[in-house]
Amino acid sequence: MTEEDFLFRNTHTDSLENGSISWQSPSNIALIKYWGKSEPQIPKNSSISFTLNNCYTTTTLEFSKKEVSSNDHNIIVIFENEVNVAFKPKILQFFERIDRYVPFIKNFDFVLKTRNSFPHSSGIASSASGLSALALCLMSLEKQLNPSITDGYFKQKASFLARLGSGSAARSVEGEIVVWGEHSEIIDSSDLYGIQFPYSIHSNFKNYNDTILLVDKGEKQVSSTIGHDLMHNHPFAKNRFAQANKNLGRMSKILQNGNLKAFVQLVESEALTLHAMMLTSNPYFILMKSNTLKIIENIWKYRDNTTSDICFTLDAGANVHILFPDREKEKVSAFILKKLVPFCQNNQYICDNLGKGAKKIY
Ligand code: DP6
């Protein structure tokens, strides 16, 4: 598929007056990280993620035909029941980026009502779930205007549009494991959209758990836009992109053969490498907090004293995602509660697990 394949074909768009569409779309956590991109939202390396189940955004898009046609995008954004002006520029920018592919959006006034299942300002990125939910709503609108599109095209274009809003959002349309970015060992992988991991996944990864420890719920210290930009003149960028692609090949094998010891090693190494890129960029950032390190030390101690396959990964922030197989749930949950939750801000954490992807509400 090329970008041209995602242009809107049907020209009879006058029939639809108004309506409302609602989607629920999950967050995801990358195992092999995307950090570094070029225009238009093309990743410098391929990435792979677990789709989450309990952390999601629910978005309702109300649309009504404009009374007077114009080229402007007219959107009112309502976040958690209140009109939100802070999100509006990002959404307007998103609409401008995608209107070539969904030109009919200029024919409507929109009210966008959105809320997250996870606490507001938890430090959990909502751009992946939020922008994928919105992209899916727009695809449902496209489907009403052009009912002949297939389910496969629907999902692919939803991911394609979501990517233009936020790279990681391309990985939030489907479950349970998604690859985004062209990779020689992953058939049908693309820089333009995410695809479901195309090989059979070992049973060790069934219902895999992700407990998210909220270490620091403050505003992000570095926005992802600035963070990705820092990779442009980064002295280690070239090696990092090559390493990430190599790691994705290794991860693909691990997911198929179920080697959890290798999984633990690779996932943690990826998380620390992401942070190493920020530690060594110009300007430099330390995004971990002292409690992040204490949690990591405790996980390593626990692993030394048991046969556990628990491990951690990190986003571009201080929160810690604890990954573990379902058969360890009881023991690891007790350990988390006793030893790790005390390091969380206000003892807050979220229990999540692998999810199946976005769901249409109506
Ligand atoms: C560290 O997808 O938030 O979470 O494309 O600028 O919106 P934009 O960036 P974003 O970057 C995510 C970076 C990451 C790693 C990952 O999810 O792969």
69-118 pLDDT per residue, tens: 888 999 999 999 999 998 889 999 999 999 999 999 999 999 999 999 98
User: Does the beta carbon of 129 sit less than 6 angstroms from any atom of ligand 1?
Assistant: no
Strand partners, 110: 63, 75
pLDDT at position 315, please?
93
- Banded model confidence at residue 30, pLDDT cuts 50, 70, 90: very high
Nearest ligand 1 atom to the CA of 35 is 13
pLDDT at position 334, please?
98
User: Does the beta carbon of 127 sit less than 6 angstroms from any atom of ligand 1?
Assistant: yes
d(CA 124, ligand 1 centre) in Å: 12
Nearest ligand 1 atom to the CA of 167 is 5
Examine residue 26 and say whether the peptide bond preceding it is cis (omega within 30 degrees of 0): no
Largest CA distance in the chain: 69
pLDDT at position 333, please?
98
Nearest ligand 1 atom to the CA of 41 is 5
- Banded model confidence at residue 11, pLDDT cuts 50, 70, 90: low
pLDDT at position 121, please?
66
User: Which tens digit of pLDDT belongs to each residue from 145-203?
Assistant: 999 999 999 999 999 999 999 999 999 999 999 999 999 999 999 999 999 999 999 99
Residue with tokens 């997911």: 255
> CA-based angle 346:291:225, to the nearest 5?
90
Q: Are 333 and 339 in contact (CB under 8 A)?
A: no
Q: Are 251 and 177 in contact (CB under 8 A)?
A: no
* b/e 186-211 (16+ beta carbons within 10 angstroms → b): beebbbbbbbbbeeeeeebbeebbbb
Summarize the confidence of residues 306-325 as an average pLDDT. Answer: 97
Q: In terms of residues, how long is the chain?
A: 362
pLDDT at position 321, please?
98
Examine residue 176 and say whether the peptide bond preceding it is cis (omega within 30 degrees of 0): yes
Q: What single-letter amino acid sits at 114?
A: T
Strand-strand pairing, 108-116 and 47-65:
antiparallel
The pTM for the full model equals 0.96
CA distances from 202 to 196, 254, 328 (A): 15, 8, 16
Quote the CA–CA distance of 311 and 251 in Å, as a whole number. Answer: 15
Q: Which of 27, 34, 275 has most ligand 1 atoms within 8 Å of its beta carbon, as the pocket-test mutant?
A: 34
pLDDT at position 34, please?
97
Strand partners, 353: 209
State the chain's mean pLDDT as an integer. 95
> CB burial class (10 A; 0-12, 13-18, 19+) of residue 146?
middle
pLDDT at position 197, please?
98
d(CA 132, ligand 1 centre) in Å: 13
pLDDT at position 224, please?
86
pLDDT at position 69, please?
82
What are φ and ψ of residue 289, in 5° steps?
Answer: -110, 170
Count of CB atoms situated within 10 Å of the CB of 51: 27
Residue 119 DSSP symbol: P
Asked whether the predicted pLDDT for residue 12 surpasses 70, the reply is: no
pLDDT at position 43, please?
98
Quote the CA–CA distance of 43 and 244 in Å, as a whole number. Answer: 11
User: Does the beta carbon of 35 sit less than 6 angstroms from any atom of ligand 1?
Assistant: yes
Quote the CA–CA distance of 118 and 126 in Å, as a whole number. Answer: 9
Strand partners, 323: 210, 311
pLDDT at position 62, please?
98
d(CA 11, ligand 1 centre) in Å: 35
| Interacting residues of 225 by C-beta distance below 8 A, sequence separation 6+ | none
Asked whether the predicted pLDDT for residue 347 surpasses 80, the reply is: yes
pLDDT at position 142, please?
96
What is residue 343's three-state secondary structure? helix
- Banded model confidence at residue 10, pLDDT cuts 50, 70, 90: confident
Nearest ligand 1 atom to the CA of 125 is 3
Q: Are 336 and 349 in contact (CB under 8 A)?
A: yes
Quote the CA–CA distance of 211 and 103 in Å, as a whole number. Answer: 40
Percent of the chain with pLDDT over 70: 97
d(CA 51, ligand 1 centre) in Å: 14
Percent of the chain with pLDDT over 90: 89
pLDDT at position 56, please?
97
d(CA 34, ligand 1 centre) in Å: 6
Summarize the confidence of residues 232-237 as an average pLDDT. Answer: 96
Q: Are 58 and 239 in contact (CB under 8 A)?
A: no
User: Which tens digit of pLDDT belongs to each residue from 111-141?
Assistant: 999 999 987 766 677 899 999 999 999 999 9
pLDDT at position 13, please?
64
Which of 288, 274, 289 is CA-nearest to residue 234?
274
Q: Are 101 and 169 in contact (CB under 8 A)?
A: no
Quote the CA–CA distance of 142 and 321 in Å, as a whole number. Answer: 36
d(CA 224, ligand 1 centre) in Å: 6
Q: Are 208 and 354 in contact (CB under 8 A)?
A: yes
